[in-house]
């Protein structure tokens, strides 16, 4: 699978999203932060916007649902055109059932962990997941400082993935930049969400390529 870079459009010019996505042509996915002002103290996008955006890009959409009751509404994001849907285990009532429903509807099923949520209690869920997201900031806002205290959790998650012999991707989200992506890749992450680092750059697509190069170099070190 290799390294994947997934820019977050939360940090882009939200008044011209289609144009902003066109500026990251080298990206593997477009990361869309969905917030409901309940699970996190911010309000952003919904399925209608995602459906519109999906018609204006060939880059697949990766929806990160920071919402209450994802069991009830997650499938709406698949129907809106998302190729990957991530729910928070802290909000899901039946995570295994939800992951299976997402897969049955044709999307990649992913589960997110907030910084204080350990990975070990969810070890047995890994075969049900296409991706595990380890948050490296508290969810809710872009532009936060990377939390180094999450690095041991990334390492633990990678060890559990290898233990079970599954092909679950390991994503990190929060404060990912040229200064932090190397540490994440060395710890075992292979999918990287970067918002501020990409959209604050003069050339966002060049930044995508630079982030990929740094992560690939770090992940190849034995």
| Residue ranges of domains in the chain, CATH in brackets | 4-219 (3.20.20.70)
Q: What is the mean pLDDT of residues 183-207?
A: 97
Looking at residue 221, its pLDDT comes to 61
- What is the Cα–Cα distance from 62 to 57, expressed in whole angstroms? 13
Residue 72 has pLDDT above 60, yes or no: yes
- Radius of gyration from C-alpha coordinates of the chain: 16
Residues whose CB falls within 8 Å of the CB of residue 87, separated by 6 or more in sequence, listed in order: 65, 70, 71, 74, 95, 98, 110, 111, 112
Residue positions annotated with a catalytic role: 33, 173
Q: What pLDDT is recorded for position 215?
A: 97
pLDDT at 39 over 70: yes
Angstrom distance (rounded) from CA 144 to CA 114: 14
Helix axis angle, 70-79 relative to 47-54, nearest 10°? Answer: 20
| Residue-averaged pLDDT of the chain | 94
Global pTM reads 0.95
Would you say 50 and 77 are in contact if contact means Cβ atoms under 8 Å apart? yes
Q: How does residue 44 score in pLDDT terms, banded at 50, 70 and 90?
A: confident
pLDDT for res 1: 72
Asked if the model's pLDDT at residue 45 lies above 90, the reply is no
Residue 143 or 129, more confident: 129
């Amino acid at each position: 699978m290799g390294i994947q870079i997934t820019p977050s459009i939360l940090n882009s010019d939200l008044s011209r999203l289609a144009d902003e996505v066109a500026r990251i042509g080298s990206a593997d996915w477009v990361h869309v932060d969905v917030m409901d002002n309940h699970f996190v103290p911010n309000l952003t996008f919904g399925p209608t916007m995602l459906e519109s955006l999906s018609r204006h890009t060939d880059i697949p959409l990766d929806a990160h649902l920071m919402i209450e009751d994802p069991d009830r509404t997650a499938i709406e994001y698949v129907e809106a055109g998302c190729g990957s849907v991530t729910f928070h285990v802290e909000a899901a009532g039946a995570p295994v059932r939800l992951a299976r429903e997402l897969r049955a509807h044709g999307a990649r099923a992913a589960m997110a962990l907030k910084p204080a949520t350990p990975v070990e209690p969810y070890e047995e869920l890994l075969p049900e997941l296409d991706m595990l997201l380890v948050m490296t900031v508290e969810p809710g806002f872009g532009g936060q400082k990377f939390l180094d205290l999450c690095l041991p959790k990334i390492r633990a998650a990678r060890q559990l993935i290898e233990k079970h012999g599954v092909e679950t991707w390991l994503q990190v989200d929060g404060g990912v930049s040229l200064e932090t992506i190397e540490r994440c890749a060395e710890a075992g992450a292979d999918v990287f969400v970067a918002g501020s680092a990409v959209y604050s750059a003069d050339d966002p697509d060049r930044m995508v390529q630079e982030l990929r190069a740094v992560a690939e170099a770090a992940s190849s070190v034995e």
